[in-house]
Amino acid sequence: MSGKLKEVRERISSVKSTQQITKAMKMVSAAKLRNAQNAITQMRPYAQKLDKVIKNILSNIDPDEGSSFGISREIQKAAVVVITSNRGLAGAFNANISKEAYKLYEKYADLAKEGNLTFYFIGKKGFDSLKKRIPGAVINKDHIELFNDLTFENIAEVADSLMAQFQSLDLDRVDVCYGEFKNAAMQNPIAAQYLPVAKVSGTAEEGKKSNADYIFEPGKKELLESLVPSILQTTFQKFCLDTQASEHGARMTAMDKATENAGELIKELKITYNKARQESITKEILEIVGGAAALEN
């Protein structure tokens, strides 16, 4: 019986230590989340407005006059950018993004067989999850450590590389899988078309699409050549900052739940310990009473 009591005491001590760790991790994630949430909430309206502007412009001008980034062509070479975190303990956050990326792999399965599908990984968890599940796809890990330093310069370097490959016809389509931050408890895995820039659908299907009358200064070509890449860099930065905030939110929620579960487990173990202790005491009393009765006889 003493062995059982010792085992339960050790389990209680172990769970308490784990609870302290999860509680500390929750507090760290909460602190990081505030900064990451401020960054994405301040940037998102700006990025969304720019995205709307570029889609409207490219949807209302002739392809020959517009930017090459808005030209759709037959998909012979494609790329999927997977943005995840470097660390786990964030619930199903990284796994959900990897699932979206794998759906794209299935969509482009024919390209993968020909070696014309490339997976770019930003963050280690996506790479760890998919590296053995995407046979035939070319794996690019050049920017896997980018998530450690999400400065605009580093992000723009990746965006520029993708844009250069699209312009040189080395890529015909680029999709990005990332985590869209809603709040600390909700993060949506998203697979977004990055290149070519998606056109505004609107009423085009009904044949009622109207052309907007834009005035370009200094000139249409000069403006688009500088404006479109800048907007695409900002869009890619939004993908990364969204994922960063989502990671901290998911980890904070997961650690909060783990802390609660540890508390419930400690309560159950204490009940088990008290029952075993009471059983041990009762047994000892019975042994004493039995011994006394034997002496009297």
Tokens found for residue 57: 């412009």
Q: Which residue has the tokens 């310069």?
A: 153
Q: What's the fold here for domain 43-253?
A: Pyruvate Kinase; Chain: A, domain 1 (3.40.1380)
To 5 degrees, how large is the angle CA 14–CA 16–CA 25?
110
Question: Phi and psi (nearest 5°) for 49?
Answer: -65, -45
Pairing mode of beta strands 78-83, 117-122:
parallel
Please write the tens of the pLDDT for every residue from 238-250: 999 999 999 999 9
Give me the pLDDT at residue 205, please: 43
CATH number 1.10.287.80 given to 2-21+255-296:
yes
Q: How far is CA 12 from CA 18, 63, 271, 277, in A?
A: 10, 68, 11, 14
Please write the tens of the pLDDT for every residue from 87-120: 999 999 999 999 999 999 999 999 999 999 999 9
Give me the pLDDT at residue 211, please: 55
When mean pLDDT is compared over 67-71, 121-125, 204-208, the highest value belongs to 121-125
Q: For the chain, what are the domain ranges?
A: 2-21+255-296, 43-253
H-helix segments, 60-131: 93-107, 109-113, 124-130
To 5 degrees, how large is the angle CA 31–CA 37–CA 40?
150
> Do 265 and 22 contact (CB within 8 A), yes or no?
no
What's the whole-number average pLDDT of the chain? 89
Give me the pLDDT at residue 206, please: 42
Residue type, 89: L
Q: For residue 203, what pLDDT band results from cuts at 50, 70 and 90? A: very low
Q: For residue 232, what pLDDT band results from cuts at 50, 70 and 90? A: very high
